[in-house]
Amino acid sequence: MKKKLTTGLMAFAAIAATLTPPVTATAAHRTAPAAQSGQVSGAPATTGSVTADGASTAPGRASHFMSQSRNLGLTAAQARALQTEAEANVARTGGTQVAPNRIDLGGAIMTLAVPGEKYARDLTQPRSTRALASCAYGHMCAYKDRNYTGNTIDMLRCADYRIPWLTRGSWINNQTRGTRARFMSSDRVVRWTSPGAYSSDPNADWSWVHWVRNC
């Protein structure tokens, strides 16, 4: 009896298999791949550039920022160079590009100087004749180049921030009175502590500084 039942079930399964069409990987059944870093949800799934550390850049966003740069008065060459600089700094810091020359570091904003210009600026404003060196009260500002020029990191929230350059630069500590900033090596060991706010250095050596804790 058991042998007949088993044989019958096997026969039924064989018949059912011939009646059920195979499932194909149609568009309705595919699962969309996770968006790559820097790729906007809903944007065309095109392949962007890949940096040395594996970070990717969505070409749609890059084109969008370059178009914004052109609309704000930059030349095509300036727009391309600025976007290249932005992508390099995004890769180094892990930040998010939010404007043609601005990168959100989560509690701090990096502003990039336009190629050919001395000072970083808000692109919606005219070319500046001075740095963003006023460094608002309560902030700590790091500058890529000497005398408060070049790319700028404006730190507000207390945190560790990656310093992506190896130049001789500058910094301003305009936080609440007495607040000290800590300068750290690659292993995040504090190697030097600044004087209490207000303090500054127009000719600082960034070559050994990998992180700054602003408080």
pLDDT reported for residue 128: 65
Among 78-82, 102-106, 123-127, 203-207, where is mean pLDDT lowest? 123-127
Who has greater pLDDT, 51 or 200? 200
Residue 36 lies in a domain: no
Q: What is the pLDDT of residue 124?
A: 82
pLDDT tens for 137-170 read: 999 999 999 999 999 999 999 999 999 999 999 9
What is the pLDDT at residue 132?
57
Per-residue model confidence (pLDDT) at position 47: 30
How long is the chain? 215
Asked if residue 44 is part of any domain, the answer here is no
Q: Is residue 98 part of a domain?
A: yes
* pLDDT of amino acid 195: 97
Look up residue 209 and give its two tokens: 């500084």
Residue of 168, 167, 173, 176 whose CA lies nearest to 212: 173
For residue 8, name the pLDDT band (cuts at 50, 70, 90).
Answer: very low
Residue 204 domain boundaries: 54-213
Let me know if residue 43 belongs to a domain.
Answer: no
Each residue's pLDDT tens digit, 83-129: 999 999 999 999 999 999 999 999 999 999 999 999 999 898 777 65
16 domain-assigned: no
pTM of this prediction? 0.72
Count of domains for the chain = 1
Asked, for residue 15, whether it belongs to a domain, the answer is no
pLDDT at 126: 76
Residue 183 in any domain: the answer is yes
CA separation for the pair 111, 120 (Å, rounded): 6
27 within domain boundaries: no
At residue 28, the pLDDT reads: 27
Strand ranges (DSSP E) for the chain? 49-50, 56-57, 96-99, 102-104, 108-111, 139-145, 149-155, 160-162, 168-174, 182-184, 190-193, 199-205, 211-213
Neighbours of 141 (CB within 10 A): 24
Q: What is the pLDDT of residue 58?
A: 67
Residue 17 pLDDT exceeds 60? no
Closest listed residue to residue 197, CA positions, set 171, 172, 177: 177
